[in-house]
Amino acid sequence: MEPMTAPASRRVLLAAPRGYCAGVDRAVIAVEKALEQYGAPVYVRHEIVHNKYVVQTLEKKGAIFVERTEEVPEGSIVMFSAHGVAPVVHEEAARGKLATIDATCPLVTKVHKEAIRYANEDFDILLIGHEGHEEVIGTSGEAPDHITIVDGPDDVAKVEVRDESKVVWLSQTTLSVDETMETVDALKQKFPLLVSPPSDDICYATSNRQAAVKAMGADSDLVIVVGSKNSSNSIRLVEVALDAGARAAHLVDFASEIDEAWLEGVTTVGLTSGASVPEVLVDQVLEWLAERGYADVEIVKTAEESIVFSLPKELRRDLRAEAAELVADK
């Protein structure tokens, strides 16, 4: 099939920031370092991050992804994904004599700690998030008797609590900022004494990527979001693009998934990527678009990001021990 003819003045608006957040970068590097340090296989409970390319790449290097702790052979190394796990998973690992590496994003860990704190104070905790998402499962597991999941504003009417003077809301870190605040507003109308978390639960990277898409959405005929279909934050970017005024928005894992028919009548293509997406996949989309006449790229930058998280403590400990042995041998 011949590439279709695109209209004049074609351009790409490239969102910044986009792609890897600090938590994803940390988790992916943790798997790579574990493979270097301990050798293959390294078992990972659930996909380390929600991206098909990243998972396939790590599998080729020797990572084995499992959905249940029981699938990991006794005495093996298992890493917990960036989404976090419930306390029961740590208990299962201990029973299986597994060496654990916890790659939970520190921002998810923050929500876990908030859940523990408010449960200890006997609050009803309204956890805004998507039922069944790994992060929500992990957070709920910290205080199952105190947590009620609220999956958007439409869920608010059915929420019941024991004491309206002791209610707090927390949230999944990868939600739509706007929809979360809509849910919070509805909860506050129902529970006027609702307590907010000490600081935002929605991740800085989620907020920043949505803000960049909002900034370019109205000027884009089409927005392409690079990300996997099981990535909550990537799906939200498609929704944000449409809400911001883009005529169309699509989610793709790879450039090969783009339908040339999407370019019919399109002058401006907005391009971004989810927080689990390596830049190589964005580069491939840019190349694909350039081959079809969209070679003019303008950066739409709304924030600077400089946050870096240290590796999981278990890895840092073993890497330090190895370095000390090397020094001692010299």
Catalytic sites, residue numbers: 135
Q: Which residues of 38-69 are buried (b: 16+ CB within 10 A; e: fewer)?
A: beebbbbbbbbbbbbbbbebbeeebbbbeeeb
Task: Confirm whether residue 76 is marked as ligand binding.
Answer: no
Give the number of other Cβ atoms within 10 Å of residue 157's Cβ.
8
Task: Confirm whether residue 203 is marked as ligand binding.
Answer: yes
Task: Confirm whether residue 21 is marked as ligand binding.
Answer: yes
Task: Confirm whether residue 306 is marked as ligand binding.
Answer: no
Task: Confirm whether residue 133 is marked as ligand binding.
Answer: yes
> What tokens appear for 69 in the block?
């702790």
Task: Confirm whether residue 50 is marked as ligand binding.
Answer: yes
| Amino acid letter, 97 | K
Contacts of 69 (CB under 8 A, 6+ apart): 45, 78, 89, 92, 93, 96, 98
Task: Confirm whether residue 46 is marked as ligand binding.
Answer: no
**Chain center to CA of 185:** 24
Task: Confirm whether residue 139 is marked as ligand binding.
Answer: no
CA dihedral of 226, 232, 238, 244, whole degrees rounded to 10: -130
Task: Confirm whether residue 276 is marked as ligand binding.
Answer: yes
Give the number of other Cβ atoms within 10 Å of residue 151's Cβ.
17
**Coil vs helix vs strand at 23:** helix
Q: Which residue numbers belong to the known binding site?
A: 21, 50, 83, 105, 133, 173, 203, 231-233, 276
Q: Which residue numbers belong to the known binding site for [4Fe-4S] cluster?
A: 21, 105, 203
Q: Which residue numbers belong to the known binding site for isopentenyl diphosphate?
A: 50, 83, 133, 231-233, 276
Q: Which residue numbers belong to the known binding site for dimethylallyl diphosphate?
A: 50, 83, 133, 231-233, 276
